[in-house]
Amino acid sequence: MWRNIAVIGVGQTKHGIRRDINAAEMIAEAAWKALEDAELGPEDIDAIAIGNMQGFGGICQAELWSGDLFAAPGKPVLRIATGGTTGGSVAQCGMYQVASGLFDTVLAIGFEKHSDSKEPGATMGLSHVGLANMFHLLANGVDVRTSFAYGGGVGAAAGVSAYQACEYMHRSGCKIEHLDMVAAKSRRNAAKNKYAHLQWPNCTAESLAKHPRFGEIVAYPLRLGHICPASDGASAIVIASEEIARKADRPAWVRGLAACADEENQQAENAQGVSILDTSEQMQCRIAAMKAYRMAGIKNPREEIDVAEIYQPFPHQELMYSERLLLFDDGKAWIPLEEGETEIDGKLPIDPSGGVLSTNAIGSSAMQRVAECALQIMGKAEEHQVPKDVKNAVAHGWGGSTNFTVVTVLGDTPRLRW
């Protein structure tokens, strides 16, 4: 990348079930908050990147009818959608728009309004994937009658995740208790984040496991309390070139960004895939992480990364992806978890915002990871601000059937120094 770019403004709506507001108003709320945070007006924005998963909200190309509420008319708009990674891909699109030199200030928005489709929204979107997957597998000669794993295929990414959790537990030797600990940490942290959806102050692994409702196993090894909600919400960031970012108080500089795609995981589950034998391998995440760190000039991520925002709708993914992001040894992430290293005040805080486990508005989720990293660097994370000087933060997102990854590294100093 030939020029420095930075995140100079962040805006989020309260995430949750938002029946008080429609999709357009929700997008506008996040967009205007981000503009206000960046101290810019809509006329200062040169281009817009936006995205959501349209099957989940029942609206096709929502940016076209809602555009007038966030100053889109007259501007170049790029709509990006890549499954769960959508928000992260949108953020990266905004970054490339500025990095190209064609635009100086870009607004990037991710949103989802699950409650707009038939309750619960995510189920409709997921069954849309599941059914299409079944036809795909049939067309490719996979006999779904004999494939136990197809049960996972019907649940799409959620279905894959239950299998993946088992594979990860087998690989790492972590126990269901560790998943309880991750989930409890997420709910606890979310209680400190005013924008989060599921908040449970002082939640502990025991109280979650013994809870009559949330403790129930839905699909082994996942309890109801381990599973992300289907939220409504939007988040936005303003990305600017160096000249503009220099005027900001403490911008979050973009130091590295990478995306990577692997083979679709359901084929692997059905033992028909060609490359993936273990869905907890996550080769694409390692590659993206290595590329992003190299671009950011980070040689030892364990020492240099101060906070990580990992996309973890299911608790084993926080452990698994923290390893794939090269923050811990393969299969060993549960040890620092036990020692409390990943708490807000720990050595390497992971998801101080509560993460996707507590708030999942698909299109907004991976965008929130970038936004939260920016907030930690800017020192604006309020109650869940980590108690240390944040120099580098890594934002992660996964999408598809856990086969797409985006990794963005933000820092307190620009990438290129003259």
Partner 1 sequence: MMREKVAIIGYAQSYHQANMPMTREDMVFEVAKEAAKMAGIEREDIDTVINATNDYYEGRTISELFLVMPIGAYLKDYTKVEMDGANAVFYGMLKILSGTHDIALIVANTQGSTFNPHQISVYTLDPTFDRQIGVLNDISAAAIQARVYMNKYGISEEEAAIVSVKNLGNAAKNPHAHRRMPGISLEEVLSSKLYCDPIRELTMSPISDGAAAVVLASEKKARELSDCPVWIKGVGSCQDSYIRDRKLYKLEGLEAAAKKAYQMAGIKNPFAELDAAEVSERYAHEELMIYEALGFCEEGRGGTLIDSCATFNDGQLPVNPSGGALSADPITATGLIRIVEATMQIRGEAGAHQIPGAWRVLAHGQTGICAQQNIVFILGGEE
- Closer to partner 1 at the Cβ: 54 or 147? 54
Structure tokens given for 377: 């660097």
3-state class (DSSP) for residue 240: strand
Q: Select from 54-62, 297-305, 315-323, 380-388 the region that touches partner 1 (CB under 8 A).
A: 54-62
Hunting for tokens 């790492």 — which residue is that? 172
Shortest distance in whole angstroms from residue 306 CB to partner 1:
24
> Per-residue string for binding with partner 1, 12-41, x by CB under 8 A?
----------xx------------------
Question: What does DSSP say about strands 47-51 and 105-113: parallel, antiparallel, or unpaired?
Answer: parallel
Residue 383 binds to partner 1 (criterion: CB under 8 A): no
Hunting for tokens 């129930």 — which residue is that? 216
Residue 81 binds to partner 1 (criterion: CB under 8 A): yes
Within positions 204 to 263, which residues make up the interface with partner 1, using CB under 8 A? 257-263
Shortest distance in whole angstroms from residue 296 CB to partner 1:
12
CB 368 within 8 A of CB 34: no
Cα gap 354→278, rounded to integer Å: 27
- Closer to partner 1 at the Cβ: 260 or 409? 260
Number of residues that bind partner 1 (CB under 8 A): 71
Shortest distance in whole angstroms from residue 129 CB to partner 1:
5
- Closer to partner 1 at the Cβ: 63 or 180? 63
Cα gap 313→110, rounded to integer Å: 17
Shortest distance in whole angstroms from residue 157 CB to partner 1:
8
- Closer to partner 1 at the Cβ: 221 or 313? 313
Q: Binding partner 1 by CB under 8 A: which of 19, 20, 36, 61?
A: 61
The region, left, alpha or beta by phi > 0 then psi within -120 to 50, assigned to residue 385 is beta
> Per-residue string for binding with partner 1, 153-192, x by CB under 8 A?
---x------------------------------------
Residue 144 binds to partner 1 (criterion: CB under 8 A): no
Cα gap 166→320, rounded to integer Å: 12
Structure tokens given for 217: 């196993």
Q: Binding partner 1 by CB under 8 A: which of 4, 12, 13, 97?
A: 97
> Per-residue string for binding with partner 1, 99-128, x by CB under 8 A?
xxxx-------------x--------xx-x
Cα gap 147→133, rounded to integer Å: 13
Cα gap 59→11, rounded to integer Å: 23
Which phi and psi (to 5°) does residue 322 adopt?
A: -65, -30
Q: Binding partner 1 by CB under 8 A: which of 36, 64, 247, 303?
A: 64
Cα gap 134→324, rounded to integer Å: 30
Hunting for tokens 């609206």 — which residue is that? 59
- Closer to partner 1 at the Cβ: 47 or 378? 47
Shortest distance in whole angstroms from residue 184 CB to partner 1:
31
Q: Which residues are CB-contacts of 65 (< 8 A; sequence separation ≥ 6)? A: 24, 59
- Closer to partner 1 at the Cβ: 9 or 400? 400
* Element of type H or E holding 186: helix 176-191
At position 9, the amino acid (one-letter code) is: G
Shortest distance in whole angstroms from residue 125 CB to partner 1:
5
